[in-house]
Amino acid sequence: MLTHIISFLGSLLGTFYIHKCKRANSKPNFFHFINDFKQHGCSKIKNKMKNKKAIKTSIIKMICFPSVCMRDPQRVEEIIKAMQKAGTSTIQVISDFDMTLTRFDYNGKRCPPSHNILNNSRLISEECKAQLKDLLNTYHPIEIDSKQTAEEKLPLMVEWWTKAHTLLVQQRIRKDLLQDMVKESDAMLKEGYQLFFDHLQEHSIPLLIFSAGLGDVLEEVFSNSMDFDETGVLKAFKGELIHIYNKREGGALLNTGHFQELKSRHNILLVGDSLGDLTMADGVHSMENILQIGFLNDKVEERKTSYLNAYDIVLVKDETMEVPNALLKLLLRKCQ
């Protein structure tokens, strides 16, 4: 059975093994922004606002950070106003974990996703590491290929994760060593994550986190979970396989109480870092509005157009939660 979600945020923070995993505020502030996307970035919006016929809005100004790109600022404003009008009691947040809540890099060094925390640890043999790297080199280019559809990628993603899980099971990993493994890793939560969680907790806004990573590295998240034998050695992975292109609420959550518990939460703030993450809210019943934020961390020029066509707001090489935090503040305001 899949590791269960947090419904409301209070139970989440204490369960992240990542809490010791280089908290974002344990190192100096580091903001990695891109400033030269004039065509879709904030400079275009600011120039528009000088025109009397342009959108007269303080909403767009409040989220106009250097990393922000938007295809249709007016649509973004309309969604925000509709969600403001509906009120906080109708809002839920659905988020990816790796490279969305966690950093993609720090000072030019790549930060590991939760799967790689294990793959690169001392618990894995050098032979297995080489095999996992071969799988990565084979399948990751397919995963991020903007020219292939999700339907084309899906069987290959299943093939990748299944092979990787088989290799990990062969390593006979001990459960009692996982926490130290995470502490020793370079994984880091994004700057501003604590404020993001605090906003949600203060206003009782539910947060659902999907991860194609390992549920035993981060608890209380819908993810791939390990099954250990009576001696504490990994023997299998249990439950439905979750990968980047099947994070659908309707699939992973169908047999849980999530839908019933959140049946009045028809307005969605979705945060992800891949095109596959856009399916995370597919199973939400009677959805009224959805605002989709996408972190574009890598291969920016190659992937920017596809991200702008898919996400309402694209954050280019942004290692902070500044924009999601600004959006939450806006959503918590009453519509004026």
Radius of gyration, CA atoms only, the chain: 20
Four-way CATH pick for 9-27+36-331: 3.30.465.10, 3.30.420.10, 3.40.50.1000, 3.40.50.1460: 3.40.50.1000
Ranges in the chain, pLDDT < 50: 1-41, 43-56, 214-224, 243, 246-247, 249-255, 336
**What pLDDT is attached to residue 241?**
54
**What pLDDT is attached to residue 147?**
84
Its pTM stands at 0.71
Residue 226 bridge partners (DSSP): 237
* Residues 262, 68: Cα–Cα separation, whole Å: 30
Query: Which residue shows structure tokens 């799988």?
Result: 135
Q: Which residues are catalytic?
A: 96, 98
CB 84 within 8 A of CB 91: no
**What pLDDT is attached to residue 27?**
37
